[in-house]
Amino acid sequence: MIWEVFRQEKSGDYHKHCGNVHAPDREMALLFAEVQHGRRKPTNSLWVTPQKEIGEVDTEDTAFGGTTDKSYRWAMTYNFEAAASEVEESESEQATADRERKAQIEGGS
Amino acid sequence: MDIEEVKQRAGPREFSPKDEMPEEYRKAATRMIQFHANSEIMGAYLEKPFIRQAPSLDRKLAFSAKVQDEIGHGQLLYRAAESLGIKTRDEMLDELAEGKGKFLNCFHYPMESYVETPMIAFFVDGAAMRRQATLKSTSWEPYAHAMDKVCFEEGFHVKHGEAILYELMTGSKKEQEMTQEAFEKWWPRIIQFFGPTNEKSTHHGFASEVGLKQMSNDDLRTAFLNAYIPKAEKYGLEIPDEPRISKNDDGTYEVVEEDLDWDEFFTIAKNDYEPGVGQINGRKAAQDAVEWVRESLDSHENRLYGSSQPQAAD
């Protein structure tokens, strides 16, 4: 049986997919994940889940974020000086995400 | 997807188990990744005796960690190969045990003495890492993912090998002579690591057209020689007169192929080279010895889930 492995680098981080292992049950899947994926890179926690249990939707199935112009939901659209540093930070995160998303759409299939 | 579309789209990490890949691609990728996985396993077995034979505790620990790493790389790669749906891990391990699985030429030669270890750990691993770095942008995504982790760990292996070489070449006169002797024995094999020149390589064309292979054997050999000849000389090793190697004006190298033993190379490629058969059988014995572990894991899994086989649609 194949188990997908997710590694969390430090407490509070997200668990990110890092590979998969063969194992007959959950306990051994955790043990094998520990040996194969938790030895060198910083690891605070590992998750395993049977591969069959993973559901997926991807860009072939759907257009993430829709296809209509949704510029109204981006902070960059509103041309005022940010009222506070946390607003500015949020806007900068949105600008980065928007850039990456556009690059993905242009560069993608 | 048909082969034409595969060739058109071929790019780094372009294809994954979600794509319907033509059988020709899946077979070529399986052949390549299985070869790579087998080589990791056979390389680990080659170095395993030196966990005991290494002269210091530090070296023993490092060899032990490295052998563990290589076995782990084998596991990652068998997973990447399995995801193509052609062969299961069990089938590939059995093929290796039965002498049908192919692997790198250098791992068919036994290592008899500690002074030989840097030939594998520095030069062969260095050559392997050169190739693996280019495979981070192979078109089969699970293969590229495995390379991320393999290359992350491999840096330590090559540095460790270099440290042993340095230690031996700054040791006693006797140590230096023995190391030079080992180098002369291994050098032609290391040059052959990259296989025959392009015209003679049967699988290169297709593998490179579909983005599996990223760099030709000749380019890899040149990159390797550029980096490792100066290193060898720096530690006081003399490059053997044969095979004759000359540097072109454009920085590439010309290796005189007649100076290399291609009969031996192709005997090895068929798993018929006598010392190599011993290496294969040695690993088979180890696999047989732990058959009961696999059996008990499988029957445990059967009890829990009804089957131990990877999903057909995997």
Domains annotated on chain B, with CATH:
3-305 (1.20.1260.10)
Beta carbons of A19 and B298 less than 8 Å apart: no
Contact A40 B300 (CB under 8 A): no
Average pLDDT of the residues in B204-229: 91
Which residues of chain A does B149 touch, with a Cβ-Cβ cutoff of 8 Å?
18-19, 37
Distance CA B233, CA B221 (A): 17
Q: What is the spatial distance between Cα B277 and Cα A75, in angstroms, rounded to a whole number?
A: 67
Å between A89 CA and nearest CA of chain B: 32
Task: Give the nearest partner residue to B304 out of A19, A25, A58, using CB atoms.
Answer: A25
Least confident among B62-71, B72-81, B120-129, B244-253: B244-253
Residue of A nearest to B296 (CA): A24
C-alpha pair distances (Å), B148 with each of B36, B77, B294, B297: 15, 12, 28, 29
Residues 6+ apart with CB under 8 A from B8: none
| CA atoms within 13 Å, Cβ hemisphere of A58 | 9
Q: Mean of the pLDDT values across residues B121-142?
A: 95
Contacts with A30 (C-beta within 8 Å, 6 or more apart), sequence order: A46, A48
- Whole-number pLDDT of residue B161: 95
Place of tokens 């890949």: B21
User: Which residue pairs from B151-156 have beta carbons closer than 8 angstroms and sit at least 24 positions apart in sequence?
Assistant: B152/A40, B152/A41, B153/A40, B153/B69, B153/B72, B153/B73, B154/B69, B154/B125, B154/B128, B154/B129, B155/B129, B156/B65, B156/B66, B156/B69
pLDDT tens for residues B65-113? 999 999 999 999 999 999 999 999 999 999 999 999 999 999 999 999 9
Domain membership flag for residue A26: yes
What are the tens digits of pLDDT across the range B11-28? 999 999 989 999 999 999
For B310, which of A2, A18, A19 is closest by C-beta distance?
A: A2
Nearest to B38 by CA among B89, B109, B85, B83: B89
The ipTM, to two decimals, is 0.74
Note down the domain range covering A17.
Answer: 2-53
- CA distance, residue B206 to nearest chain A CA (Å): 23
CB B132 within 8 A of CB B147: yes
Please tell me the predicted confidence (pLDDT) of residue B314: 43
Identify the DSSP state of B123: I
Residue of A nearest to B311 (CA): A1
Burial of B288 per CB tally in 10 Å (0-12, 13-18, 19+):
exposed
B305 interfaces chain A, CB cutoff of 8 Å: yes
Residue among B72, B305, B308 minimizing CB distance to A36: B72
Identify the band that residue B181 occupies on the pLDDT scale cut at 50, 70 and 90: very high
Residue A62 lies in a domain: no
Non-local (6+) Cβ contacts of B55 within 8 A are B114
> Is the per-residue pLDDT at B201 higher than 80?
no
Q: Per mean pLDDT, which range of A31-35, A80-84, B93-97, B199-203 is the poorest?
A: B199-203
Q: Is there a contact between B304 and A24 if contact means CB atoms under 8 Å apart?
A: yes
Q: How many C-beta atoms lie closer than 10 Å to residue B78's C-beta?
A: 27
Residues B61-68: what's their mean pLDDT? Answer: 94
Decide if A24 and B75 are in contact by the 8 Å CB cutoff: no
Q: What's the pLDDT at B199?
A: 56
Q: What band does B61 get if pLDDT is binned at 50, 70 and 90?
A: very high
Of B72, B298, B314, the CB nearest to A2: B314
Tokens of B302: 């059967």
C-alpha dist (Å) from residue B90 to B79, B93, B100, B178, B238: 11, 5, 13, 41, 44
- Predicted confidence band at B191 (pLDDT cuts at 50, 70, 90)? very high
Q: Is B254 helix (H, G, I), strand (E, B) or coil?
A: strand
Q: What angle separates helix B57-82 from helix B89-97, to the nearest 10 degrees?
A: 120
Q: Provide the sign of the torsion angle of the four alpha carbons B83, B89, B94, B96, taken in this order.
A: positive
Mean pLDDT of A25-48: 94
Q: Tell me the shortest Cα–Cα distance from B72 to chain A, in angstroms.
A: 6
Compute the average pLDDT of residues B122-144: 95
Sign of the Cα torsion A22, B125, B33, A16 reads positive
The Cα–Cα gap between A105 and A109 comes to 8
Task: Report the chain B residue with the minimal C-alpha distance to residue A34.
Answer: B72
Q: DSSP readout, chain A?
A: -EEEEEEE-STTSPPEEEEEEE-SSHHHHHHHHHHHHSSSS--SEEEEEEGGG-----TTT--TT-SS--GGGSGGGS-S--SSHHHHHHHHHHHHHHHHHHHHHHH--
Which of B18, B297, B310 minimises the CB distance to A24? Answer: B297
**Interface contact A24-B311, CB threshold 8 A:** no
- A76 and A48 within one domain: no
A40, part of any domain = yes
Distance CA A44, CA A7 (A): 8
B311 part of contact set with chain A, CB < 8 Å? yes
Instruction: Report whether the peptide linkage leading into residue B243 is cis, meaning its omega lies within 30 degrees of zero.
Output: yes
B304 neighbourhood in chain A, CB within 8 Å:
24-25
**How does residue B249 score in pLDDT terms, banded at 50, 70 and 90?**
confident
Cα separation of the two ends of chain A: 33
CB-CB neighbors (< 8 A) of B76 in chain A? 19, 36
* Mean pLDDT on A32-54: 94
The pLDDT value recorded for residue B198 is 64
Residue B299 host element (H or E): helix B291-305
How many whole angstroms separate alpha carbon B22 and alpha carbon B207? 13
Contact B34/B81 with Cβ under 8 angstroms?
yes
Note the pLDDT tens digit of each residue in B141-179.
999 999 999 999 999 999 999 999 999 999 999 999 999
> Which residues on adjacent β-strands are paired with residue B193?
none
Q: Judge whether A60 lies within some domain.
A: no
Of the candidates B89, B153, B311, which has its C-beta nearest A52's C-beta?
Answer: B311
Does B304 reach chain A within 8 Å, measured CB to CB?
Answer: yes
Q: CA nearest A52 in B: which residue?
A: B311
Mean pLDDT of chain B: 92
In a domain, residue A7? The reply is: yes
Q: How far is A99 from chain B (nearest CA, A)?
A: 22
Burial of A81 (0-12, 13-18, 19+ CB in 10 A): exposed
CB contact under 8 A, B79 and A21: yes
Quote the number of domains for chain A. 2
Residue of A7, A28, A36 to mutate, interface with B, max B Cβ within 10 Å: A36
Nearest chain A residue to B297, by CA:
A24
Q: CB distance A25–B308 less than 8 Å? A: no
